[in-house]
């Protein structure tokens, strides 16, 4: 079959047809943007809108016609936002720790790693860490007319409930170490309170959640059910979920031994009954 050589007119028509089938040029030229882990800056949240130490790492700042921002917000224990509203609402994804959220007129709700909070447009609210735990969440917020938040008054200590005046004036409760061994080994109780929990556990190098996870793992590996009981309970307070604790003991059956994992499962049942 002889090859037909197209005329210039036919070539033009073919080119026009091919062009009409292509997507718009601008869309084809847009590049993906990947901001690498560790490359983004941490900023301290402004004191006029926050109480306590709060760090913000912007994950995405809207560009051009975009309206949605995303940021990671890390609250130290006791830190929180001021009261505020979002014109088009906000979604919070808790990634570690234990925190609190409250809408105006509603109860204070506890939030933990894995929880997702949606705040409807215009609802006055605050969010932050629990008094005894740090909390980190990712916040996804859509702006209207370039504005994503309307700030209001600070959350007073009495509203936050961290240290209501009556609790602060009440005599301090004996620590768990004092109750367990204060009578027989007072120095060990004092070292446990001041050095272990007052210094080592308070160091920022590991989050309380991660410290709980490694401590629970070590106690399972050593088959120490008495200490495991209180540390599984503390791990729940520090944001380790029940599913994560069960996954931990299942995983450790292969490294620490099946009997250790079975003992740990029995301890977990007791702890979950008291701290679901």
Long-range contacts of 59-65 (CB under 8 A, 24+ apart): 59/35, 59/138, 62/143
In the complex, the smallest distance separating the C-beta of residue 31 from Mn ion, rounded to whole angstroms, is 31
Give the separation between CA 231 and CA 116, rounded to whole angstroms: 26
Question: Which residue, 153 or 226, has its beta carbon nearer to Mn ion?
Answer: 153
Question: Which residue, 152 or 180, has its beta carbon nearer to Mn ion?
Answer: 152
Q: Which helix (H) or strand (E) holds 116?
A: strand 116-119
Task: Decide if residue 85 touches Mn ion (CB under 5 A).
Answer: no
Task: Decide if residue 69 touches Mn ion (CB under 5 A).
Answer: no
In the complex, the smallest distance separating the C-beta of residue 140 from Mn ion, rounded to whole angstroms, is 10
In the complex, the smallest distance separating the C-beta of residue 142 from Mn ion, rounded to whole angstroms, is 12
Task: Decide if residue 90 touches Mn ion (CB under 5 A).
Answer: yes
Stretch in the footprint of Mn ion (CB under 5 A) among 26-34, 89-97, 98-106, 257-265: 89-97
**Closest residue by beta carbon to Mn ion:** 90
Question: Which residue, 115 or 177, has its beta carbon nearer to Mn ion?
Answer: 115
Q: How far is CA 269 from CA 101, 158, 176, 242, 276, in A?
A: 29, 36, 21, 10, 10
188 Cβ neighbours under 8 A, 6+ residues apart: 177, 181
Stretch in the footprint of Mn ion (CB under 5 A) among 85-93, 156-164, 170-178, 181-189: 85-93
Sign of CA dihedral 10, 11, 17, 18: positive
**SS3 label, residue 26:** helix
Taking alpha carbons only, the member of 73, 84, 75, 78 closest to residue 48 is 84
In the complex, the smallest distance separating the C-beta of residue 121 from Mn ion, rounded to whole angstroms, is 11
Number of amino acids touching Mn ion (CB under 5 A): 1
Binding site for Mn ion (CB under 5 A): 90
């Amino acid at each position: 079959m002889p090859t037909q050589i197209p005329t210039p007119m036919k070539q033009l028509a073919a080119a026009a047809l091919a062009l009409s089938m292509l997507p718009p040029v601008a869309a084809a030229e847009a590049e993906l943007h990947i901001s690498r882990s560790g490359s983004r800056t941490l900023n301290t949240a402004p004191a006029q809108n926050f109480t306590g130490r709060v760090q913000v790492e912007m994950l995405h700042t809207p560009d051009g016609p975009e309206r949605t921002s995303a940021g990671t917000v890390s609250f130290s224990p006791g830190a929180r936002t001021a009261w505020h509203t979002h014109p088009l609402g906000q979604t919070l994804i808790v990634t570690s720790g234990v925190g609190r959220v409250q809408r105006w007129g509603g109860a204070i709700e506890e939030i933990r790693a894995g929880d997702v909070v949606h705040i409807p447009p215009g609802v006055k609210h605050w969010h932050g860490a629990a008094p005894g735990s740090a909390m980190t969440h990712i916040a996804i917020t859509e702006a209207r007319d370039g504005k994503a938040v309307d700030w209001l008054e600070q959350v007073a200590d009495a509203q936050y409930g961290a240290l209501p005046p009556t609790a602060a004036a009440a005599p301090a409760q004996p620590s768990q170490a004092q109750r367990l061994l204060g009578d027989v080994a007072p120095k060990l109780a004092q070292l446990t309170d001041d050095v272990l929990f007052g210094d080592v556990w308070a160091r920022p190098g590991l989050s309380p959640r991660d410290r709980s996870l490694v401590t629970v793992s070590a106690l399972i590996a050593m088959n120490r059910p008495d200490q495991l009981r209180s540390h599984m309970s503390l791990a729940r307070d520090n944001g380790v979920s029940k599913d994560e604790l069960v996954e931990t003991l299942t995983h450790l059956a292969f490294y620490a031994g099946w009997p250790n994992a079975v003992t740990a499962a029995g301890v977990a049942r007791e702890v979950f009954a008291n701290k679901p």
